[in-house]
Amino acid sequence: MKVAPFKTDTLVIGAGVIGSAVAMGLIREGVRDVIVADLDLSGEWSSSELNAGGVRATWSQEVNLVASKCSIEYFAENADAVGYRPVGYLWMHRPETWDAALKAREMHVSRGWPVDVLDPAELTRRFPLIDKTSDLAGALFGRRDGLVNPNRLKEHFREEAAHAGSRLMDGVWVHSVVYSAAGAMIRAFQFAAPSKLPSEAKKRVLTEAWSTEFESLGQWIEIECKNIVNCAGAWAPSVAKKLAYACPSEPVRRQISLFHAREVNLSEYGMMIDPSGVYFHPEAIYGLAGFAIKDEPGGYNFGYDAEQFFENYIWPPLYERSTHFESLRHISGWAGLYENSPDHHAIVGPVVGGPANGFAGARVFEAHSFSGHGVMQSFAVGVSLAQQIVRGRYELVDFSKMSAARFTAGGASASGIKEETWVI
Ligand SMILES: Cc1cc2nc3c(=O)[nH]c(=O)nc-3n(C[C@H](O)[C@H](O)[C@H](O)COP(=O)(O)OP(=O)(O)OC[C@H]3O[C@@H](n4cnc5c(N)ncnc54)[C@H](O)[C@@H]3O)c2cc1C
């Protein structure tokens, strides 16, 4: 039996931290009719579930500073709800990056973000853990940078959105769209018991071609809407294709290790970034460390290389940084996906390009490709994109530079955007 189409003003595809924030933003803007659809609301494979929870406004590019600062200020106002802790980000620099770091710091401070400058002696005095500093020129410490609980943050956005009636649809996988003068008709498959769908099956639905073997587990549905927002994270390129436009980003694996440092109490420290690229921070009674392997191939790879990753990439730089890290024990770890854009900035705004005759009566927007920093920009993006959708302009934070127009011929120089280099 064919089910009557669901109807809504705005359909948000993807209910990770970004889709949930956009739903909250739309509700704040007075839109009372929003559906947020996701294959898996628990987000088992989503980046919002598999990240490190770091939040910082210390960036090389001002547009990222502004977006993160605005979000962190909101996290600070709602610290209990989102688990914000201003434990700081400590960026250690060798001589070759020090001048540029100090220049970036001038920008941070001029925009009201406090960042301390530490010479190597002061660094060890304030952070006794860091006692091997002979290769360092200095360090910057962003005092209000810190950590959040990404899961609580996502739930917080969802609760704010649900108060005023936005609908979260679980087990709904968006398949295709038909545009008409009346708007868009989305075709999707709805799993009858999403919570019983095995992890591997969810991964296959998300990352491989649709298989008819799933069709006994639910039914095809339609969702009629005026506006669509692509918030599909690392799957944004495939959702963009379904929506009839192209997205230049690609998913890339990032691994994280949990380790035990017997000789030191890490709980006194915040996020630390070694010049090698290894970052680490306390995680309950353990340390959590990540590293981006150079030339990691793109793709939907969730494999964690376990001890091999820890011993090849994490432990050696930590050993070189602290006598307290000479004996570390690998506990476990995982891999999730970064959603990398070509210039490591998010892609936000009305979709550029699309079918030759446009999207007919529908409007299509996007917020994805955060290149590893979606949690820390989520609030600003959610509210600002909703303003763009409803009022036709950004008010909280101007994301116009982050439009995908920068990837069209001459677009990058017109937008004035430069590549973000403080990516870890
Ligand atoms: C290891 C790691 C560490 C990180 N550390 C940090 C950090 O410290 N700080 C920080 O700010 N960021 C960090 N990030 C990045 C951050 O996690 C992401 O930028 C952010 O979570 C992106 O959120 P999202 O909502 O866009 O995507 P996601 O959370 O991935 O959500 C996308 C959703 O779309 C759904 N979906 C996809 N296709 C479809 C479809 N066809 N139909 C229905 N639903 C669909 C998926 O099920 C998923 O739930 C890290 C990421 C990783 C992997």
CA of 46 to the centre of ligand 1 (A): 5
Task: Work out the average pLDDT over 46-59.
Answer: 95
CA of 211 to the centre of ligand 1 (A): 24
| CATH number for the domain that contains residue 322 | 3.30.9.10
- What is the reported pTM? 0.97
Which residue, 298, 320, 340, sits at the end of a domain? 340
Please report the pLDDT score of residue 265 as a whole number: 87
What is the C-alpha to C-alpha distance for residues 393 and 378, in angstroms, rounded to an integer?
18
**Are 222 and 97 within one domain?**
no
Which residue, 340, 357, 381, sits at the end of a domain? 340
Per-residue pLDDT reduced to its tens digit, 372-400: 999 999 999 999 999 999 999 999 999 99
**Are 174 and 111 within one domain?**
no
Please report the pLDDT score of residue 125 as a whole number: 97
Strand partners, 172: 190
Which residue, 312, 340, 368, sits at the end of a domain? 340
Q: What is the largest CA-CA distance in the chain?
A: 73
Task: Take atom 26 of ligand 1 and give the residue whose Cα is closest.
Answer: 233
> Does ligand 1 lie within 6 Å of residue 14's CB atom?
yes
Task: Take atom 19 of ligand 1 and give the residue whose Cα is closest.
Answer: 374
Q: Domain residues for 181? A: 6-49+151-248+343-415
| Type of residue found at 359 | F
Packing angle of the helix pair 374-391, 17-28 (nearest 10 deg): 40
Provide, rounded to the nearest whole percent, the portion of the chain with pLDDT above 70.
Answer: 100
- Residue 159 domain-assigned (yes or no): yes
- Residue 1 domain-assigned (yes or no): no
- Residue 423 domain-assigned (yes or no): no
**Are 225 and 266 within one domain?**
no
Contact 280, 129 (CB under 8 A): no
**Are 239 and 363 within one domain?**
yes
Mode of pairing for the β-strands spanning 172-180 and 183-191: antiparallel
Backbone angles phi, psi at 127, to 5 degrees: -130, 80
Burial class for 399, CB neighbours closer than 10 Å (0-12, 13-18, 19+): buried
Q: What burial letters (b/e) apply to 298-312, b meaning 16+ CB within 10 Å?
A: eebbbebbeeebbee
Greater pLDDT, 283 or 384: 384
Cβ atoms < 10 Å from Cβ of 378: 34
> Does ligand 1 lie within 6 Å of residue 243's CB atom?
no
- Residue 383 domain-assigned (yes or no): yes
Q: Coil, strand or helix: which one is 206?
A: helix
Q: What burial letters (b/e) apply to 98-126, b meaning 16+ CB within 10 Å?
A: beebeebbebbeeeebebeebebeebbee
What is the C-alpha to C-alpha distance for residues 154 and 146, in angstroms, rounded to an integer?
17
Per-residue pLDDT reduced to its tens digit, 259-281: 999 888 888 899 999 999 999 99
| CATH number for the domain that contains residue 369 | 3.50.50.60
**Are 259 and 303 within one domain?**
yes
Whether residue 284 is predicted with pLDDT greater than 90 in this model: the reply is no
CA of 316 to the centre of ligand 1 (A): 29
- In the numeric block, which tokens belong to residue 13? 């595809």
**Are 264 and 325 within one domain?**
yes
**Are 31 and 97 within one domain?**
no
Q: How many domains does the chain have?
A: 2
The ligand 1 atom at the shortest distance from the C-alpha of residue 234 is 30
**Are 180 and 98 within one domain?**
no
Please report the pLDDT score of residue 1 as a whole number: 66
- Residue 347 domain-assigned (yes or no): yes
> Does ligand 1 lie within 6 Å of residue 115's CB atom?
no
Please report the pLDDT score of residue 3 as a whole number: 80
Per-residue pLDDT reduced to its tens digit, 163-210: 887 899 999 999 999 999 999 999 999 999 999 999 999 999 999 888
Backbone angles phi, psi at 62, to 5 degrees: -60, -35
| Type of residue found at 383 | V
**Are 169 and 223 within one domain?**
yes
The ligand 1 atom at the shortest distance from the C-alpha of residue 375 is 11
Task: Take atom 12 of ligand 1 and give the residue whose Cα is closest.
Answer: 373
Mode of pairing for the β-strands spanning 167-169 and 172-180: unpaired
CA of 323 to the centre of ligand 1 (A): 36
Contact 367, 348 (CB under 8 A): yes
Strand partners, 141: 90, 116
Q: Which residues contact 220 (CB under 8 A, 6 or more apart)?
A: 3, 175, 187, 188, 189, 190
> Does ligand 1 lie within 6 Å of residue 40's CB atom?
yes
**Are 263 and 319 within one domain?**
yes
**Are 244 and 347 within one domain?**
yes
CA of 125 to the centre of ligand 1 (A): 37
Please report the pLDDT score of residue 300 as a whole number: 97
**Are 190 and 229 within one domain?**
yes
